[in-house]
Amino acid sequence: MERRISHRIYPAIKCKKEGCGKMFNPSDARQVYCCEQHRIDNNNDNRKLKYENAIAVSRIFSKNEEVLRTFYNNPKFNRESAVQKNFLEILGYDFSRFTEVKINQQTKGLVHWNFLLGIEGADPTVENFFIRNRKTI
């Protein structure tokens, strides 16, 4: 297939890439960058900004999951005993972040889930928590 070449001439415009500002004659009315690399750079920067918050929140969920896994996978940890809030805080657990809250049908308590693991208040003062696994509830 033969490529068609436009003989249109567009007025010179300034490149939209931040920090460039080079004047150039676009080959198409939709062209706003002086070169392909500036278009790619700008799209990558915009994508990074768009997903920056989601990535940060995902890291918090992952960190919370890692803290819970530290206790849950420890052979010395009794899964029916509670973990003190201060131990979770020392390891960096963020109590304000969770993916969902569901009622534990067995205990009727609220479980704040991360991914696979979650915490359930063990006492009314919420100073101790049970670590729950989605697969076992």
- Residue 56 resides in a domain: no
- Residue 86 resides in a domain: yes
- Residue 107 resides in a domain: yes
pLDDT of residue 53: 85
Contact 128, 84 (CB under 8 A): yes
Mean confidence (pLDDT) of the chain: 91
The residue type found at 121 is G
- Residue 120 resides in a domain: yes
pLDDT tens for 110-136 read 999 999 999 999 988 889 999 999 998
pLDDT of residue 57: 87
- The number of distinct structural domains making up the chain is 1
- Residue 12 resides in a domain: no
- Residue 76 resides in a domain: yes
- Residue 44 resides in a domain: no
- Residue 48 resides in a domain: no
Average pLDDT over residues 26-52: 92
pLDDT of residue 67: 96
CB neighbours (10 Å) of residue 87?
A: 14
Structural domain containing residue 87:
64-136
